[in-house]
Amino acid sequence: MDYFIERNKEKLIDITRRVLMIRSVEGKYEEDAPFGRGVKEALLKALDIGNELNFKVVNLNDLVGYVEYGEGDDIISVLGHLDVVPEGNNWKYSPFGGEIHDGKIYGRGAVDDKGPTMAALFGLYALKETGLKISKRVRIVFGTNEETGWKDMSYYREKVKEPIIGFAPDAQFPVINREKGILNIILRKDFVTLNDSVKISGGDRSNVVPDRAEAVFKSRIILKSDNPDISVDGNKIFAKGISAHASLPEKGKNAIVTLFEVLESVELPLEVREIVDFVVNVIGRDFYGKTLGVDKTDEYSGNLTLNLGVIKVTENYGELSFNIRYPVTDSYERIVDVFKKQGNNFNLNVASFKNQPPLFVAENEPIITKLIKVYEDFTGEKGYTLSIGGGTYARAMDKGVAFGPYFPGMEDIAHQANEFIGIDHIVKLARIYGRAIYELAR
């Protein structure tokens, strides 16, 4: 398989670029495009590629699709996703151009998760073309709603009766068998008095550290700030930050917090002031929720992390959206209770919350022992299990783990500007994923 993949790597590069050139950010619901036109286009493109590679392809109502190879009652699944987070700002190349520079393919989704998904597909293609015999069916599943709601996986689980066993190519090597719980919380304040003084907005998704925020005042604002991340234009104050994945908030710089720090010195309506005070004094730049009182750590998965991802202040209300990654031994109920108590001190209420339970798979499970052996044979390095703060489709399986795409020592650039995947890296992924699929399905 290795020789086949190396000899045909231009085809791998081509199929990766083709899906990267589609802006598959969740869009407006349409009857035949439940997650928007861009997401549907990416799904259809991936299925077209599956057809070109002579696989059986299945489209489940434009919510999720898969390619399948092999025969048998048992199925090994690789669950990837084609949807991406918004591109944000500060790109040096087009985020949807699929451009190649210095041996790297640039684009939103290059490493999260279009590139690794195409690598897994190509690994299966190499297995098929080289005639290796397997005893199970293999599916490469193309998810379309991983970044925003997992409705695709809910639908897939309804339609698929067989146990879902396999891996998600959406984290790190060697093997991820522990994933923190993911809790999204919205705090809201409905204004008693109409706010006609200032409108505030920032961020796009709670699972991304926001790289921009702005306050728009009714009249011209006079503000002196030495902060290079702050700019003033007439009646507007702009703050810039650095985007990062919400599971690693320390890798980013939160533009909402930066904006609110300067708003502390600006005259504001009382109800807006309470929101600003809450963010600056209770949230701040504390990635672990110590000031808020939600901090927690355990030996299995490490620290709780906290990200304020979205702010919206209108005439009638203010809303804050948080993304919390909590340890596998923690409970979401505890965190919600703390938010309720702390929010009440600033007249903020928990408007809604959504929880994804943690993942924990025992180390002696065959899925883990086989993948660790694949990793060790491929790299020559000792395999082991890891915990992450990110959430992958592994937790949508009956027995699943995350396997790659980052090798030890590589920097996580998911959700950041200038996201890329190295050509050498994606070829390496196709090789290890081909081996993994073979060992699990033989």
CATH number, residue 204: 3.30.70.360
Structure tokens at 236: 């507007």
| pLDDT tens digits, one per residue of 384-396 | 999 998 889 999 9
Active site residue 376: no
Q: Clarify whether residues 10 and 72 are in a common domain.
A: yes
Out of 326, 356, 386, a domain closes at: 356
Q: Clarify whether residues 123 and 188 are in a common domain.
A: no
Please report the pLDDT score of residue 183 as a whole number: 97
- In whole angstroms, give the CA distance from residue 301 to residue 287: 16
394, 402 contact by CB (below 8 A)? yes
Query: Residues 106, 152, 162, CA angle at the centre, nearest 5°?
Result: 115
Please report the pLDDT score of residue 372 as a whole number: 99
Please report the pLDDT score of residue 389 as a whole number: 86
pLDDT lower than 50: segments of the chain: none
Q: Clarify whether residues 163 and 201 are in a common domain.
A: no
Out of 337, 356, 375, a domain closes at: 356
Active site residue 298: no
Number of domain units in the chain: 2
Please report the pLDDT score of residue 413 as a whole number: 93
Q: Clarify whether residues 279 and 324 are in a common domain.
A: yes
Strand locations in 314-437, DSSP E? Answer: 317-326, 349-356, 359-360, 385-388, 399-402, 405-406, 420-422
Q: Clarify whether residues 323 and 364 are in a common domain.
A: no
Q: Clarify whether residues 230 and 260 are in a common domain.
A: yes
Residue recorded with tokens 């005893």? 135
Q: Clarify whether residues 118 and 28 are in a common domain.
A: yes
Q: Which of 26, 146, 147, 170 is catalytic?
A: 146
Domain residue limits at 148: 2-180+359-441
Query: Residues 203, 42, 308, CA angle at the centre, nearest 5°?
Result: 15
**Of 140, 95, 119, nearest in space to 15 by CA:** 119
| pLDDT tens digits, one per residue of 34-53 | 999 999 999 999 999 999 99
| Three-class DSSP category at 20 | helix
Q: Which of 62, 83, 211, 261 is catalytic?
A: 83
314, 198 contact by CB (below 8 A)? no
- In whole angstroms, give the CA distance from residue 143 to residue 168: 11
Please report the pLDDT score of residue 149 as a whole number: 87
| pLDDT tens digits, one per residue of 62-71 | 999 999 999 9
| Identity of the amino acid at 203 | G
Q: Clarify whether residues 26 and 66 are in a common domain.
A: yes
**Residue-by-residue DSSP string for 31-53:** TTBTT-HHHHHHHHHHHHHHHHT
